[in-house]
A = this chain, B = another copy of it.
Amino acid sequence: MAYSIEELKEYLKKYNIKPSTIRLKILGFLLENRVHPTADDIYKYLIDSIPTLSRTSVYNALELFTDKGIVKPVSLNEKELRYDIKTDFHGHFKCEICGNIYDFPLQNQVYSEDFLEGFTIKDIHINYYGICKKCNQKIKLNKNKEEY
């Protein structure tokens, strides 16, 4: 869960990115907290440890990470983009109540290829929306309370 500076440097090196304090901290945050943060989430998290940090630098780093393929922007019908560290093919579930975003596994299968014959598929985003397990349980509990 916790990554050493050396590991983070090594990680960036693999993607041909020069390490800098900001980049290492953003990468560390992304790796250790798989929360699909917005640029602002990252900014707010880092501002304590880098008081001079600017939002621009966060955007710069995220753009670089995106270009180099470390990170993937996802838009979940919100106005802000979120950033997902690249891992296995997976889907996203966004809870409309708590706002949490859950990853869930996907077999590497496409829905129907027939129509897309001749198309080059470079990326697939599978986004589910609804109510997560936890929030469903809370709803159930409140209903029970009301009954007494």
Binding site for B on A (CB under 8 A): 73-78, 81, 91, 93, 96, 102, 104-107, 109, 111-112, 115-133, 136-137
Contact = CB atoms under 8 A, between A and B. Distances in A.
A121 B128 CA distance: 7
B122 A125 contact: no
A111 B130 contact: no
A111 B126 contact: yes
Contacts of A73: 77
Nearest to A108: B111
A136 B119 contact: yes
A96 to B, nearest CB: 7
Which residue, of A76, A102, A109, A112, has the highest number of chain B Cβ atoms within 10 A? A112
